[in-house]
């Protein structure tokens, strides 16, 4: 098949999922064309089946806000026609689904037929999409899609609850290439870090937005550190980072915390981790938790959104109510205090991640593509 993928090319989960999906489809012999404003972070530049088409947004003094969606639409029309694409798969509804709709209409007027599939990832529904400034367009573009997928059952339910949409949504969960994470585990970590004695390494990865409640990570860590030697590694960056750094200073625990910033190969850091903390306010899936589990790292998370579909309470880690940092710290210590418990949780985390192995999920997307093309 000749597939066009539209996504945000950044470190965010939706971009990572879209890019890994494209890489995997290309490995299976499909021709995959990425249409984005920048080279996706995980793009496999050495695959002969992968192509990248940049959406170049030029500035003009009249525009206070450059109309990205129109430039994207024009690019979609061009790539579909000239690369003879069979279908478009857009990740994150805003503004990709409406751009795909517009491209489909323009192409139809030229006698070219192109179906589009929309994959909903989370904040496009739970935070941004619900905003009345987007809602009518999102509802329309979802209903017009030739197929819609959601990355968890919880996200499907939220979509059906918040939007007046036809609820014919396929749940196709996010996936993971376990080999990539286990390989880093078995090799010597490129991440240079000298563990002091028997200290436990705790990791949090996010875009440091308020929805991630990064301050809760610091509170939980502060409680753990009172009981056992531990170090906290932050991966990622975003608007809350400055406030979190200030919090570490105020609590006088900065010596045990490192901010590593945005990392391309975060599996190097996970390979030395003992615990992952994800205390989000809402999380449609929690890809970061799955990545941790693929590296055999148990997860302390909240029980919000799609997280119960990913993290199994008492098995791959524990879940607590949003904001309950005492419970999170108690659970973290249940995992970390005894080496034999930690070893068991690490094994369980990997077993849980295996349920989301790429090889099990990829055929679900291929089957969906075939179904759409057969109509």
Among candidate residues 165, 163, 171, the one with its CA nearest the CA of residue 134: 163
- Residues near ligand GMT (CB under 6 A), total: 21
Nearer to ligand GMT among residue 290 and residue 332 (C-beta):
290
Interacting span for ligand GMT (CB under 6 A) from 97-105, 277-285, 311-319, 366-374: 277-285
Instruction: Return d(Cα 299, Cα 310) in angstroms, integer.
Output: 10
End-to-end CA distance of the chain: 15
- State which of residues 287, 297, 362, 368 lies at the interface with ligand GMT (CB under 6 A): 287
CB of 155 to ligand GMT, least distance (A): 7
Task: State which H helix or E strand residue 36 sits in.
Answer: strand 31-36
CA distances from 157 to 139, 152, 154, 256 (A): 15, 9, 5, 40
Instruction: Return d(Cα 122, Cα 343) in angstroms, integer.
Output: 32
Nearer to ligand GMT among residue 20 and residue 146 (C-beta):
20
Specify whether the CB–CB gap between 280 and 304 falls below 8 A.
yes
Instruction: Return d(Cα 233, Cα 272) in angstroms, integer.
Output: 11
Q: Restricting to residues 139-168, which ones interact with ligand GMT according to CB under 6 A?
A: 151
Q: x-or-dash pattern for ligand GMT, window 1-30, by CB under 6 A?
A: -----------xxxx-x-------------
| Cβ-closest position to ligand GMT | 122
Specify whether the CB–CB gap between 302 and 278 falls below 8 A.
yes
Nearer to ligand GMT among residue 22 and residue 222 (C-beta):
22
Nearer to ligand GMT among residue 12 and residue 298 (C-beta):
12
Q: Which residues pair with 169 in a beta bridge?
A: 148
CA 279 to chain centre: 15
Instruction: Return d(Cα 111, Cα 214) in angstroms, integer.
Output: 51
Specify whether the CB–CB gap between 134 and 355 falls below 8 A.
no
Nearer to ligand GMT among residue 271 and residue 302 (C-beta):
302
- State which of residues 274, 283, 309, 312 lies at the interface with ligand GMT (CB under 6 A): 283
Interacting span for ligand GMT (CB under 6 A) from 52-60, 101-109, 115-123, 252-260: 115-123
Among candidate residues 350, 205, 232, the one with its CA nearest the CA of residue 286: 205
CB of 147 to ligand GMT, least distance (A): 17
Interacting span for ligand GMT (CB under 6 A) from 57-65, 75-83, 134-142, 276-284: 276-284
- State which of residues 40, 122, 129, 173 lies at the interface with ligand GMT (CB under 6 A): 122
CB of 214 to ligand GMT, least distance (A): 12
Q: Residue by residue, what is the 3-state secondary structure of 269-322? A: HHCCCCEEEECCCCCCCCHHHHHHHHCCCCEEEECCCCHHHHCCECCCEEEECC
Nearer to ligand GMT among residue 119 and residue 184 (C-beta):
119
Q: x-or-dash pattern for ligand GMT, window 201-230, by CB under 6 A?
A: ------x-x-x-------------------
CB of 8 to ligand GMT, least distance (A): 7
Instruction: Return d(Cα 149, Cα 17) in angstroms, integer.
Output: 13
Nearer to ligand GMT among residue 230 and residue 290 (C-beta):
290
- By CB under 6 A, is residue 296 in contact with ligand GMT? no
Which positions lie near ligand GMT, rule CB under 6 A?
A: 12-15, 17, 92, 121-123, 126, 151, 174, 207, 209, 211, 282-287
């Amino acid at each position: 098949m000749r597939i066009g993928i539209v996504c945000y090319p950044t470190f965010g989960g939706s971009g990572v999922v879209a890019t890994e999906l494209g890489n995997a489809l290309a490995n299976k012999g499909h021709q995959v064309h990425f249409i984005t404003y920048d080279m996706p972070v995980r793009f496999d530049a050495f695959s002969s089946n992968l192509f990248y088409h940049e959406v170049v947004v030029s500035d003009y003094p009249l525009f206070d806000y450059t109309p990205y969606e129109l430039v994207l639409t024009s690019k979609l029309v061009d790539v579909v026609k000239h690369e003879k694409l069979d279908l478009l798969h857009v990740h994150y509804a805003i503004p990709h689904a409406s751009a795909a709709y517009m491209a489909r209409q323009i192409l139809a007027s030229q006698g070219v037929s192109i179906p589009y599939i929309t994959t909903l990832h989370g904040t496009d529904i739970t935070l941004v999409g619900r905003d009345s400034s987007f809602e009518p367009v999102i509802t329309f573009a979802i209903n017009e899609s030739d197929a819609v997928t959601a990355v968890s059952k919880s996200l499907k339910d939220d979509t059906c609850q918040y939007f007046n949409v036809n609820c014919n949504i396929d749940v196709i969960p996010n996936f993971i290439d376990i080999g990539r994470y286990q390989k880093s585990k078995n090799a010597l970590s490129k991440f240079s870090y000298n563990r002091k004695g028997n200290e436990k390494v705790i990791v949090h990865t996010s875009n440091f937005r308020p929805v991630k409640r990064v301050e809760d990570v610091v509170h939980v860590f502060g409680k753990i550190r009172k009981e056992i030697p531990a170090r906290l590694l932050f991966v990622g960056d975003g608007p809350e980072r400055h406030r979190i750094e200030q919090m570490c200073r105020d609590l006088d625990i900065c010596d045990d915390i490192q901010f590593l910033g945005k990392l391309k190969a975060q599996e190097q850091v996970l390979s030395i981790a003992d615990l992952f903390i994800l205390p989000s306010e809402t999380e449609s899936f929690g890809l970061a938790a799955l990545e941790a589990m693929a590296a055999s790292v148990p997860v302390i998370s909240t029980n919000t959104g799609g997280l119960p579909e990913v993290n199994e309470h008492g098995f791959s880690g524990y879940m607590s109510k949003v904001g309950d940092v005492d419970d999170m710290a108690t659970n973290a210590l249940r995992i970390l205090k005894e080496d034999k418990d930690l070893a068991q949780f690490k094994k369980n985390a990997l077993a849980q991640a295996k349920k989301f192995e790429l090889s099990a999920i990829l055929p679900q997307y291929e089957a969906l593509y075939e179904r759409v093309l057969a109509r």
